[in-house]
Amino acid sequence: MTIQNKPLLHYHEAFPPSTLTASAIESHLTAVGVVEPQWRFTMYSTTHFHSTTHELLCISNGKAKLCFGGEDNPGKVEKEVGKGDVLIVPAGVGHRLLEDLTGGFEMVGSYLKGYNWDMCYGKKGEEAKIQSIKDLPWFEKDPIYGDKGPVLEN
């Protein structure tokens, strides 16, 4: 589990992959109104985490193998994700790209409205940031499904 005892969530094909675009993802997220889409990019190949907000990652193109929890962590989770999948990464969970399986792997990265993301690497001097994670709010609605959805069950 994570600092807040919130799980890493993986919604398989939350969006229909055959017609999916990054713009369609952004429009849907904006309409639901829980998170703000902030970027389109791949995932960094260096393990990192965020201390200021939870992260929503919507796969808009390709397939990839990702690592959550850090490579040296015996409890790490490696997941293969593809176009249409959605990941909810709780603040404090290290994550990185292991392999772009198709070339052109891209995600839409979004964060809770009113919160800005930071980059942390588990280095000396980040202890205060890690401690602040326990006070972050969780999602009041599911960022994909609104009033009902897996994020509200955790």
Share of the chain above pLDDT 90, in %: 84
d(CA 6, CA 115): 18
Q: What is the mean pLDDT of residues 110-128?
A: 93
Is 150 domain-assigned? no
Domain that holds residue 29: 9-130
Q: What is the pTM of this model?
A: 0.95
Q: What is the pLDDT of residues 31-75, one digit of tens each?
A: 999 999 999 999 999 999 999 999 999 999 999 999 999 888 898
Is 34 domain-assigned? yes
pLDDT value of position 127: 87
Is 139 domain-assigned? no
Burial zone of 52 (CB within 10 Å; 0-12 exposed, 13-18 middle, 19+ buried): middle
Is 50 domain-assigned? yes
76 Cα distance to chain centroid? 15
Residue 65 CB neighbour total at 10 angstroms: 14
Is 24 domain-assigned? yes
CATH number, domain at 111?
A: 2.60.120.370
pLDDT value of position 1: 58
The two tokens of residue 153 are 């069950």
Beta bridge partners of 68: 77, 95
pLDDT value of position 119: 95
What is the number of domains present in the chain? 1
Is 136 domain-assigned? no
